[in-house]
Amino acid sequence: MLTMVIKQQKGVALITVMLIVALIAILATQMTARLQLQMQRTTNIGSNQQAYWYAMGAEAFAKRVLLQSLEDDAEVTHLGQIWAQGENTFPVALGQITGEISDLQGCFNLNALRADEDDNDNAGTVNGTKKSITRTAFEELLIALAIEGVGSFEAEYMADALTDWLDTNSGISGSGGAEDNDYASKEFPYLAANNYLASFAELRIVEHFTVPVINKLKEYTCILPNTNLNKVNINTIAEDKPEILVAMLGISQNDASQALSARGDEGFTTVEDFFSLAELSKADISAEQKKQFAVKSEYFKLKATASFNNSYFALNTIMKVDNKNNISVISRIIGRE
């Protein structure tokens, strides 16, 4: 009987030891897994940080490229300069850097629809009063882009809504306008910004704007931060985008295409040279319309992506060149647009 009890106790002790060993093994496995996860997380953070600094290096390099372009020609910005080489990729240790510089004045600034408080010439439409040339150009651009379902009626409504989104007052600028009361009555209410646009994504909550319209506008327009400047550089408008000239000057697409083709490798040195072209001199273009154009740009955008050890970082930087040719960063957006 005593022998049986001893055997049972030995069996219990053996089971207990096995349970303890199993628990230790489980804990050791969990600790190892957590340690590996923590090590991988630390590696990922380090790789992401390195990718970030690669992207910042691309920004610094872009500044040097722009400075070199300014040293080569301080008075004119054109597509023959070194900044306009398009997308370039550079191999680096355990990764690569890709960057592209674009001129943000080679397109129509959507923030230009916001009028200055004392700017009567650029005032928007209010219940039938005269439209500004900027407002008219935006409507004409929407029509010229031939977006399905967008005609003069829809273009006017979108211009009304965007004008109200940008302006500082609470008055409706037209039949398609929308202010706080209109947005506050939605299922998920919000208020009009009454300020400059910050990104194209913001257009998705502006009345009447649809995804197809926004996607098309991205190709022909830009958003300059905190300014309603709309000085389009005639030397940097893409040759396949004559619709910008069609909208801003009221000329035919054929004349606009020929005018862009006539720029030459180094563009025009003055706005007057551009408007002396036969295609434009025959058109009825007002002095006010001509004031919308320039041959030198102030705003540039860098789109950079960097990779390091399977980590990726995307950076969009907007830079401004002042009248002394100093370059400053005025906006950084992390992530792809």
Tell me the pLDDT tens digit for each residue of 14-63. 788 788 888 888 888 888 888 778 877 777 788 899 999 999 999 999 99
> What distance in Å separates the CA atoms of residue 296 and residue 51, rounded to the nearest whole number?
33
Give the count of alpha carbons within 13 A of 322, CB side only.
Answer: 6
User: In which band, very low, low, confident or very high, does the pLDDT at 7 lie, cut at 50, 70 and 90?
Assistant: low
Range(s) for CATH 3.30.1300.30 in the chain? 65-104+298-334
Tell me the pLDDT tens digit for each residue of 300-316. 999 999 999 989 999 99
pLDDT value of position 40? 73
Q: With residue 19 as reference, give the H or E element that holds it.
A: helix 2-72
Q: With residue 92 as reference, give the H or E element that holds it.
A: strand 88-92
Average pLDDT, the chain: 89
- Joined together, the tokens standing for residue 243 give 């619709």
Tell me the pLDDT tens digit for each residue of 133-142. 999 999 999 9
> What distance in Å separates the CA atoms of residue 54 and residue 305, rounded to the nearest whole number?
9
Segment 280-288 shows an average pLDDT of 90
What is the secondary structure of 299-329 as a DSSP string?
Answer: EEEEEEEEEETTEEEEEEEEEEE-TT--EEE
Q: Which CATH architecture has domain 65-104+298-334?
A: 2-Layer Sandwich (3.30)
Q: Does 119 have pLDDT greater than 60?
A: no
Range(s) for CATH 1.10.40.60 in the chain? 108-228, 231-294
pLDDT value of position 127? 47
pLDDT value of position 32? 82
Give the count of alpha carbons within 13 A of 39, CB side only.
Answer: 6
Of 87, 17, 131, 266, nearest in space to 274 by CA:
266
Any idea which of 96-110, 124-138, 197-211, 310-324 has the lowest mean pLDDT? 124-138
- Joined together, the tokens standing for residue 35 give 């340690």
Helix ranges restricted to H, 129-242: 133-144, 152-166, 180-184, 211-220
pLDDT value of position 210? 96
> What distance in Å separates the CA atoms of residue 190 and residue 188, rounded to the nearest whole number?
7
Q: What's 108-228's CATH class?
A: mainly alpha
> What distance in Å separates the CA atoms of residue 101 and residue 86, rounded to the nearest whole number?
7
Give Rg (Cα) of the chain: 30
What is the secondary structure of 30-75 as a DSSP string?
Answer: HHHHHHHHHHHHHHHHHHHHHHHHHHHHHHHHHHHHHHHHHHH-SS
Give, as one character, the DSSP assignment of residue 233: E
Look at the domain 231-294 and name its fold.
Ribonucleotide Reductase Protein R1; domain 1 (1.10.40)
- 305, 314 in Cβ contact below 8 A? yes
